[in-house]
Every structure is written in structure tokens, then in C-alpha cells.
């Protein structure tokens, strides 16, 4: 099994590579090679029973897509994207990377010939939905995005469904929940605080909460997200029929519920490190985001996410903190 | 008011030009010029109180979009498309005309500068929907097309919504019902029979019915369709908020109900000219088509279509047959 990971230097890409290295197999076959492709250099990979190649390049450059599928990968994970904030700030870059890049990839696959029809697992986003919403967004709710990023992902979903229906590839577009607790440093993404208010206090560091505690959102751990990618790859797109975009399961909870989970796991001391500093800009952005889903289709297909936010925090402690809380929380 | 009609040589384009010629005004202003653009030469226009220019060109050719918006039309009707059957048979042509052509147009508008922000009325289609359907498709039902044509229209809808939200243009994507009774000769479109079984008998000519009489579909007359275009242009996109795609009203009726309407309007002799010759290919195609809608949003905005199929037939007799039935039906 020859695997290509586009966006392989990112957080999910690195965790996906780590899982593939650990398992050595996917879709019932031994992995022969993993190629990591990204615009920046990926960190050194873990020890693996198969060859790992690392390529730097921009999928939106003409000819790049043809180059990266030249050795006909059997399975392609396409995780690369300009994030929401950047796609809104730089209109042309967002369309170039998030729409043209994906189209170049599927066009290169279509034109490859020789019966080439790889499995393609693409990360879409709940940003394809825009308010007003029902209480829980079902599998038949329209995609009416309120950002250019969401528009680009919704277009990609449509293209992947059509190219799959035509038999050019076997695609799946996975609408990921917000990945939380995101490891690493705080970033400036509007959604960053959902992770910051957990990760930073667990390290004994203050974190800013810019919204009210009744804000509700849709979460899954990085471990669950990687699990979705692997499970989708194993399942294949045929299980989705003509509708290749799939809303994945997640946990709907309020910021207040996140904080109470932190209190149960790490105590009052941790919670006291959260500083409430309302930010009207972020409050406004977040007010247009999905709060809850009824991901029945994915659930019926066997996809599962965490059931409590306590569990999401414990996954973070296991995967990022070596299973232990910082010294401040004995 | 300077108006550009892309796809101006088609059936709807010709009827739209005729209506604009008759009224001389739109959006509360006198029309100063109408430019008809198409890949084929449009028929001679009717007498008009304003200048009519006719250009031949292909919107999907680089530079063409810039050329046709060079004199900054205030209002653009974009009706041009490769039809469903052709977009399915010729994958590349469908994407080139129906997706790239539209994108070239909105990109040219975005880059025009100088505060240029025209009103754009785009004809989308109920082909953006794919089965399985609810009994009546509501305004919040997902777009999951089962054809490349439907995919291209759904992508165009998303782009027009995003470009409108960003303030580059004031767009509306109108999901037209199947236009019936379509004037002219029988064509090979899979949907042609809906019109053929009415138009041909009214002219004393036999027509083939390839599906069963319980097939239900969604219709509006050509007059209603042109009315939708003008009404949308007058309304402007702001009334649609962020969701610029609008399912228009239509009449849901079965082929059997169409035939009974024909009997009431033109008698048994006309109905006897319909020959039932089931065609499994057409039956299969039609079985995946939408049957009924709850177009509440458009209705609330004041859009109206015919309420009975008798009315649709009478519109055809008035607009195409000079108000009189052929001699065979005194």
C-alpha cells in the first residue's frame, strides 16, 4: 500500500504518520511507502517499518499534482488547506490553495489513465454550514457557508462526489469537528481558545477566554480525528453512495461544560488560570458557528468520537503530556 | 440601465429580450442598451426603444469575460450553459462552460475595480438536488446532485453567494423549474417529453410518452420563467441575505394530470395523439429527478408560478399559437 499525505507537515498529518508507523498496515495490507507532501518541511518522522519520503511543494502550482501522483499512490490523504482566517484575509490565496489545489489534484488523477482510481480521503469542515441552523444539524441540511474557506470546502465536496460518481477516484470528504485539545502553542485562529483554555492551564499557564461560558461548539480530540481518517480509508467511499461528504460525530458542549470537565480532571487551581476577557470580534465570529449536529449517517457507519469532555482532556493528557498532569496538579 | 445577457440566443434569452423591449424599463430605470452574448448568432430582435448589440463569443475562452464587461453593464443575466445531457456526455466541456465560464465572469467582475458591483441574475437548476428526496424539497435541503451538470450549477451557486457576501457583485442563483411547454421542435433532452406531449398534439402531431403517467415533476411556463428573471433583477440579492440560491415556485403535477389538462383544453382528439412507448433509459433518468418542492422562501418574496397545468397550456396557446388552437381542434 503506497500512501500519499498532502499536508503531511501539519498537526493531523504528523499524528496520522505516527499512527501508520505504529500499525504498519491499512486496508488489510502492509504499507510499503508513505510520502509526506507539504509547503513546509515536516518534522522528522518516527521509526517506521516502511519507507517515508518527504517532499516540499505547492499543490496549487501547475504540474505539482501530476508530479506527486506519478508513482500512483493507492491511498491519498488530502489534508492541506489555508485555514479559515487566512482564506478570509487573502481571497486569492484561499481560492488558489483550497479550491484550485484540490481541483488540480483530482484532475491529475482523472487524466492519469491506465485505470488509475485511488482512494482519496479529504478533510472538509463544519465551516461548510452557515447560520441560521436548527438545534442539531442533520445529514440533509444545506451547505450555506458564511466564509470563503467554507465555500471552498463545500465546492471541493461537490467535486469529489462528482469525480467519484464518474469513477475517476474513490473519494470521501470528511467534515471534521473542531479538533480539541489542539497541541502546541496558542494560535490566533478565532477557534483557538477552545483548546487554549484547557491546554495552557494543564501546563500551569494562564489562558484567555474571549467568549461567554454558554457558547456551545462541536469537538473531537486529535486522536479521534486521526481515527476518522484511518477508518474512512479502510471503509472506502462506496459505503457513502453518491453523497461523499460526511459529517463526523463529535461532542457538543458549552465552554462552561469544558471548564467543569477541566475542574474534575485538574482541580480548581487549573480553572483559576482561565481569565475571562470578552472580545466582541471573536464573540461575533463564533456566534455564526455550528453548535451541534445529528451525525446519524456517520454513527450508523460506525464512526465514534469522545462522549464527554473529560475524556477529551484525558486523551490530551495521555497523548501530549505523557499521561501525567504538570507538577502544579499533583 | 445597461444590460448584458449571456446566453442571449437561447429560448429564455430571446423571450427575456422581447419582454425588455416591450417594457423599455427595469429596476425603475429606462433601459439604455441590451447586449446579447452567445456562442451562436441570436435571431433578429424585436423593435426596441433602446440599442441592442449582438456579440458572438465563448465565455470560457480566456479574456472573453473581461471583454463583455468592459463597458460595465449594470445588470447581467447569465443564462448560458451546456445542458444536462451534454455535460454528462462531455465531461470536460461541461466543466469548462458551466463552471470555468461562470468563474471567469465573476473573477472579471471582481477584478474590474473602480467600485464596479453589478447585479447578476444566474440561472441555476433543480438538478442541484439528487435523490433520495423528501416528498417536497424544502429551502434547507442539501444540494447532492447526481449529474455533472447539477454539480457545476451547485458550485456556481456557492461561488455567487461568496462573491456576493464579499461585496464583489450582487448575485442571485435562481433554481428554475423545468420550463414547460417549451416551444420549438422536439429535442433529445431526457426531459423533452414533458413539453412534447402537449405542444405536438396542440399542432395536430403525434408525440411519444416514454414514461408512466404517474411520473411527477416540477413545471413553470416560459412566461413565468422570464418573469422570475425580471422579478429577481428588480428585487436584488440583498433580500436573499447570505443564501443567494433560491428555489423558485412551480407546479408539481403528474404526467397523467398534464394529459387530463390537455383533454380539458383541447379535447380527446389531442390526447389520442400521445403514444405511450415506455423507454427504460428515460424512465431510469427521470426516476432520479425532483418531483415536488416547498418553495416557501421564494413564495414569501412574492414569486408566483402557474397554479394549474391548464394555465400552463393556456399560456403556451397565447404566447406561441397566437391565442388559438390548430384547426384540428375547433
User: What is d(CA A305, CA A128) in angstroms, rounded to the nearest whole number?
Assistant: 20
Chain B residues with CB-CB distance to A166 below 8 A: 91, 148
Percent of chain A topping pLDDT 90: 92
Residue A143, number of CB atoms within 10 A of its CB: 24
Q: Check B162 against A144: CB less than 8 A apart.
A: no
Residue A184, number of CB atoms within 10 A of its CB: 9
Q: Is residue A153 in a domain?
A: yes
**Mean pLDDT confidence for A217-243:** 98
Chain B residues with CB-CB distance to A130 below 8 A: 242-243
Give the pLDDT score at A190: 82
Residue B264 has pLDDT above 50, yes or no: yes
Of A130, A142, A162, the CB nearest to B141: A142
Chain B residues with CB-CB distance to A148 below 8 A: 162, 166
User: What is d(CA B154, CA A210) in angstroms, rounded to the nearest whole number?
Assistant: 36
Give the pLDDT score at A189: 76
pLDDT digits (tens, 9 = 90+) for B7-16: 999 999 999 9
Number of H helices, E strands in chain B: 12, 14
**Count of the separate structural domains present in chain B:** 1
User: What is d(CA A245, CA A160) in angstroms, rounded to the nearest whole number?
Assistant: 8
**Mean pLDDT confidence for B274-282:** 94
How close is the nearest chain B Cα to the Cα of A162, in Å?
6
Spell out the alpha helix ranges (H) of A45-187.
Answer: 64-68, 84-89, 91-94, 102-112, 148-165
Which one of B90, B128, B141, B154 makes the best mutation probe of the A interface by having the most chain A beta carbons within 10 Å?
Answer: B154
**Mean pLDDT confidence for A37-51:** 94
**Mean pLDDT confidence for B2-6:** 98
The band of B328, judged by pLDDT with boundaries at 50, 70 and 90, is low
Chain A residues with CB-CB distance to B166 below 8 A: 91, 148
Percent of chain B topping pLDDT 70: 98
Residue B155: closest C-alpha in chain A: A155
Q: Which long-range contacts (CB under 8 A, 24 or more apart) does B15-18 make?
A: B15/B222, B15/B223, B15/B225, B15/B226, B16/B77, B16/B79, B16/B226, B16/B229, B16/B230, B17/B42, B17/B45, B17/B46, B17/B52, B18/B45, B18/B46
Give the pLDDT score at B330: 47
How close is the nearest chain A Cα to the Cα of B300, in Å?
17
Q: What value does the mean pLDDT of chain B take?
A: 95
Chain A residues with CB-CB distance to B161 below 8 A: 144-145, 151
Of A134, A140, A151, the CB nearest to B158: A151
User: What is d(CA B237, CA B243) in angstroms, rounded to the nearest whole number?
Assistant: 9
Which one of A131, A138, A140 makes the best mutation probe of the B interface by having the most chain B beta carbons within 10 Å?
Answer: A140
pLDDT digits (tens, 9 = 90+) for A287-298: 888 999 999 999
**Mean pLDDT confidence for B163-184:** 97
* Domain coverage including residue B135: 2-176+222-247
- Asked if A116 is an active-site residue, the reply is no
What number of C-beta contacts closer than 8 Å exist between A and B? 60
A265: Cα separation from own chain's centroid:
25
**Mean pLDDT confidence for A249-259:** 98
How close is the nearest chain B Cα to the Cα of A165, in Å?
8
Q: Check A148 against B166: CB less than 8 A apart.
A: yes
Using CA atoms of A82, A87, A90, A93 in order, give the dihedral in degrees to the nearest 10: 50
Residue A231 has pLDDT above 80, yes or no: yes
Which one of A90, A154, A293 makes the best mutation probe of the B interface by having the most chain B beta carbons within 10 Å?
Answer: A154
Percent of chain B topping pLDDT 90: 92
Q: Is residue A316 in a domain?
A: no
Q: CB-based burial of residue B238 (10 Å sphere; 0-12 exposed, 13-18 middle, 19+ buried)?
A: exposed
Which one of A128, A155, A157, A296 makes the best mutation probe of the B interface by having the most chain B beta carbons within 10 Å?
Answer: A155
Percent of chain A topping pLDDT 70: 98
How close is the nearest chain A Cα to the Cα of B294, in Å?
15
The predicted model scores a pTM of 0.96
pLDDT digits (tens, 9 = 90+) for B133-147: 999 999 999 999 999
| CATH code of A66's domain | 3.40.50.720
Q: Is residue B73 in a domain?
A: yes
CA angle A41/A42/A44 to nearest 5° reads: 120
Chain B residues with CB-CB distance to A145 below 8 A: 158, 161-162
Coil/strand/helix, residue A103: helix
Q: Is residue B43 in a domain?
A: yes
User: What is d(CA B118, CA A119) in angstroms, rounded to the nearest whole number?
Assistant: 42
Give the pLDDT score at A330: 47
Max CA distance (Å), chain A: 62
Residue A90: closest C-alpha in chain B: B166
Chain B positions contacting chain A at CB under 8 Å are 91, 130, 134, 139-146, 148, 151, 154-155, 158-159, 161-162, 165-166, 242-243
Q: Is residue B230 in a domain?
A: yes
The band of B152, judged by pLDDT with boundaries at 50, 70 and 90, is very high
How close is the nearest chain A Cα to the Cα of B147, in Å?
7
Which residues lie across from B73 on neighbouring strands?
A: none
The band of B327, judged by pLDDT with boundaries at 50, 70 and 90, is low
Give the pLDDT score at B85: 86
Q: Check B142 against A142: CB less than 8 A apart.
A: yes
Residue A275, number of CB atoms within 10 A of its CB: 11
The sign one gets for the Cα dihedral A290, A213, A186, A201 is negative
Chain A positions contacting chain B at CB under 8 Å are 91, 130, 134, 139-146, 148, 151, 154-155, 158-159, 161-162, 165-166, 242-243
Q: What ipTM does this complex have?
A: 0.96
Q: Is residue A73 in a domain?
A: yes
DSSP state at residue A63: T
Q: Which of B95, B149, B163, B329 is catalytic?
A: B149
User: What is d(CA A242, CA A246) in angstroms, rounded to the nearest whole number?
Assistant: 11
Of A143, A148, A166, the CB nearest to B142: A143
Give the pLDDT score at B304: 97
**Mean pLDDT confidence for B225-246:** 98
Which residues lie across from B168 on neighbouring strands?
A: none
Q: Is residue A186 in a domain?
A: no
pLDDT digits (tens, 9 = 90+) for A97-110: 999 999 999 999 99
Residue B79's closest CA among B127, B16, B18?
A: B16
Residue B231 has pLDDT above 80, yes or no: yes
Q: Is residue A258 in a domain?
A: no
DSSP state at residue B177: P
Q: Check A140 against B142: CB less than 8 A apart.
A: yes
Residue A137: closest C-alpha in chain B: B140
Amino acid at each position: 500500500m503506497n500512501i500519499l499525505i498532502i499536508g503531511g507537515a501539519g498537526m493531523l498529518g504528523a499524528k496520522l504518520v505516527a499512527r501508520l508507523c505504529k500499525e504498519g498496515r491499512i486496508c488489510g495490507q502492509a504499507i510499503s511507502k508513505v510520502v509526506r507532501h507539504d509547503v513546509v518541511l515536516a518534522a522528522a518522522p518516527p521509526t517506521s517499518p516502511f519507507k517515508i519520503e518527504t517532499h516540499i511543494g505547492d499543490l496549487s502550482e501547475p504540474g505539482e499534482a501530476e508530479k506527486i501522483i506519478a508513482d500512483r499512490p493507492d491511498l491519498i490523504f488530502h489534508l492541506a488547506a489555508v485555514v479559515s482566517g487566512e482564506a478570509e484575509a487573502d481571497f486569492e490565496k484561499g481560492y488558489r490553495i483550497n479550491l484550485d489545489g484540490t481541483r488540480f489534484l483530482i484532475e491529475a488523477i482523472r487524466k492519469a489513465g491506465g485505470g488509475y482510481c485511488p482512494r482519496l480521503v479529504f478533510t472538509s469542515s463544519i465551516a461548510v454550514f452557515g447560520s441560521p441552523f436548527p438545534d442539531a444539524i442533520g445529514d440533509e441540511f444545506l451547505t450555506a457557508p458564511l466564509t470563503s474557506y467554507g465555500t471552498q470546502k463545500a465546492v471541493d465536496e461537490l467535486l469529489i462526489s462528482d469525480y467519484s460518481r464518474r469513477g475517476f477516484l474513490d473519494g470521501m470528504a470528511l467534515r471534521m469537528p473542531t479538533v480539541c485539545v489542539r497541541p502546541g502553542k496558542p494560535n490566533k485562529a478565532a477557534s483557538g481558545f477552545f483548546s487554549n483554555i484547557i491546554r495552557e492551564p494543564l501546563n500551569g499557564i494562564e489562558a484567555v477566554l474571549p467568549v461567554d461560558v454558554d457558547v456551545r461548539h462541536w469537538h473531537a480530540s486529535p486522536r479521534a480525528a486521526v481515527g476518522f481518517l484511518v477508518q474512512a480509508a479502510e471503509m472506502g467511499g462506496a459505503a457513502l453512495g453518491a453523497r461523499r461528504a460526511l459529517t463526523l460525530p463529535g461532542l457538543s458542549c458549552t465552554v462552561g461544560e469544558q471548564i467543569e470537565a477541566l475542574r474534575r480532571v485538574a482541580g480548581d487551581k487549573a480553572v483559576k488560570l482561565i481569565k475571562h476577557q470578552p472580545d466582541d470580534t471573536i464573540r461575533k465570529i463564533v456566534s455564526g458557528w455550528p453548535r451541534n449536529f445529528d451525525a446519524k449517517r456517520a454513527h450508523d457507519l460506525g464512526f465514534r468520537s469522545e462522549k464527554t469532555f473529560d475524556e477529551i482532556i484525558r486523551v490530551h493528557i495521555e497523548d501530549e503530556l505523557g499521561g501525567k498532569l504538570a507538577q502544579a496538579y499533583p
